[in-house]
Amino acid sequence: MSLVKSIFPALPLPASQHHSYRSFLGLTCLMQISTRTEDFIIDTLELRSDMYILNESLTDPAIVKVFHGADSDIEWLQKDFGLYVVNMFDTHQAARLLNLGRHSLDHLLKLYCSVESNKQYQLADWRIRPLPEEMLSYARDDTHYLLYIYDKMRLALWERGNEQPAQLQVVWQRSRDICLKKFIKPIFTDESYLDLYRKQKKHLNTQQLTAFQLLFAWRDKTARREDESYGYVLPNHMMLKIAEELPKEPQGIIACCNPVPPLVRQQINEMHLLIQQAREMPLLKSEVAAGVRKSGPLPNPERLENVLFGPHDCSHTPSDGYPLTPTSGPAAVQARGLLPAGEEEEALLDTRCLIATAVITLFNEPSAEENGKRPLTVAQKKAQNIMESFENPFRMVSNGCVC
């Protein structure tokens, strides 16, 4: 209760040390709160059931809460303790608006406080108890200087805005938007693997993509059951390597992992069965079989602002009024389905090319059909024979006859 009494009249600064490698959803192991005069370090593992007491201060609009990079902190506080934050100032957002180049807390400590931070314990396991004195000192430094940085950044934003609150209001608004974030528990679906597949920018065939899907589902199930992170069960790059190689033997799966995750070694036989199942799939292009590129209406390539592509432009179609190729109906669907996604767009563009044949021209020449309807004059026959002689040098003209 002494902590709550101390932060009511002051400007508190909460921060937390989060552990996510050996937990599926992660857990907050430590919370640091600094006021103008005191620093507090809270063991959230020990006091987890009592953390709700801080909601009264954290949601008090009369108290400014200063965070740095609060995007994850806001969700962690909600998930682990049911804590919410009102009236928060994020120094990370202020650093972005001030164009400081680097926006990390390390850079702000060096810039405003001339303090070199020690990141030796940044990735430490904060679940261990008791915490060494060095780790406690590191946790304290995360919040000890931030109120001073907050004061300096407010002044810089005020001066940058020509002593007008516009710049400060932008930071307050961005910080407010972060406070409105809500934690959403990750949900597994049959298509969850597609998001990760697209991010990898790899082209897998149906067997490889099936293996990737099966391994993704196995990893999610194992991570939830064992309460471990995806990175601990099977990192993304290892999972993709196994899917690409499709090893025939369990030792091949082991060879794709360096170092070998413990749960992979324990469940290597189950993973091998998944790879065998994927190898039995027919070999097709992954984009077609897996539906990565979902079928749908292609974008219209016509540009309406161009007069050549006006709605009354008759040059898009032949003179008989019928389109060159069907653009709708079963025939069109079948024609498009036979082509890959990229070629379908090209084919559609080709069929919609501008037909540049003029209906009436100044130097119009009679067509072959028109020539066949009426007999040629003597002069026209001579001209025709002369033209044919140029085309075939072995043909000679003699007395108006071809010999």
Cβ contacts of 15 within 8 Å, gap of 6 or more = 31, 32, 33, 67, 68, 73, 142, 143, 146
pLDDT score of 235: 96
CA angle 385, 388, 392 (to 5 degrees): 135
Nearest in space to 61 (alpha carbons), one of 28, 88, 81, 34: 88
Nearest in space to 13 (alpha carbons), one of 91, 98, 71, 101: 91
Bridge partners (DSSP) of residue 15 are: 32
pLDDT digit of tens for each residue in the chain (403 aa)? 445 544 444 455 566 677 788 898 889 999 999 999 999 999 999 999 999 999 999 999 999 999 999 999 999 999 999 999 999 999 999 999 999 989 999 999 999 999 988 778 877 888 999 999 999 998 998 899 999 999 999 999 999 988 889 999 999 999 999 999 999 988 998 888 988 998 888 889 999 999 999 999 999 999 999 999 999 999 999 999 999 999 999 999 999 999 999 999 999 999 999 999 999 999 876 554 445 444 444 344 333 334 343 444 444 444 444 444 444 444 443 444 444 444 444 444 444 443 444 445 444 555 544 445 567 888 888 888 877 766 555 555 445 454 5
The two three-digit tokens of residue 375, written as one number:
């007999």
The two three-digit tokens of residue 249, written as one number:
């033997």
Structure-token match 């009236």, residue found: 87
pLDDT score of 123: 77
Bridge partners (DSSP) of residue 63 are: none
pLDDT score of 331: 40
pLDDT score of 13: 58
pLDDT score of 11: 52
Secondary-structure breakdown of the chain: helix, strand, coil percentages, each rounded to the nearest 5: 50, 10, 40
Q: Convert 112-131 to b/e letters by CB count within 10 Å (16 or more is b).
A: bbeeebeeebeebebeeeeb
Bridge partners (DSSP) of residue 285 are: 205
Nearest in space to 78 (alpha carbons), one of 57, 94, 58, 104: 58
**Burial class of residue 171 in the structure, from the number of CB atoms within 10 Å of its CB (0-12 exposed, 13-18 middle, 19+ buried):** buried
pLDDT score of 53: 95
Give yes or no for a contact between 255 and 274, defined as CB atoms under 8 angstroms apart: no
Give yes or no for a contact between 59 and 85, defined as CB atoms under 8 angstroms apart: yes
Q: Is 0.75 topped by the overall pTM?
A: no
Domains and CATH numbers, the chain: 2-179 (3.30.420.10), 192-289 (1.10.150.80), 307-351 (no CATH), 368-402 (no CATH)
pLDDT score of 120: 80
